[in-house]
Structure 1
Amino acid sequence: MGKAKRPAGGAAVRLERQATGSEIWQVTTERLNQSNIYCEVPYCSRDSRHFVYARTNPTLRGNRTELMAVELGTWKQHLLDTTTG
């Protein structure tokens, strides 16, 4: 297992590297309720460069959930949409 590593310019932290070469990353560090969506279809883009997760932001009114897109590798996050309910 590898040590935790934070890439330059991103909020993600590599938690573990398996003997097979696969890696486990913690993508978010904000203190918000966030989904635990694994990076599998249908949560990834067709080219597997982006994935989506949902988070509840208490600063938003009306029980809103934000849908966030994350670019794998750079870990840049983009707000896709805000839902209600």
Structure 2
Amino acid sequence: MNFIYLIMGTVLLYLSALSLMLVIRVVYPLFASEEGAAYSFIYATTEPILMPVRAVLNKSEVFSSIPVDFSTIFAFVILFFIKGLLTLFA
């Protein structure tokens, strides 16, 4: 039973880190250049999460016509719900 809690705690920590990386990805270009190694790491870490969300949103007529990328917001909400479900079952 302790092993399950250890895995769930690790997954929750990973999801929290991903959420933080998404926030940093949005805020980072406001203060620094997007050409640095730090931004490359953040981009490489968060893009696998954002790419499927962006693909689903682009299929929608509403979100495909808007020039703003809402994939980060939706990914953050999805991570929030997953963390909530894991916390509920913990």
Task: Answer whether TM exceeds 0.5 for this pair.
Answer: no
Larger Rg computed on CA atoms: 2
TM-score (norm 1): 0.24
Structure ranking higher in strand proportion: 1
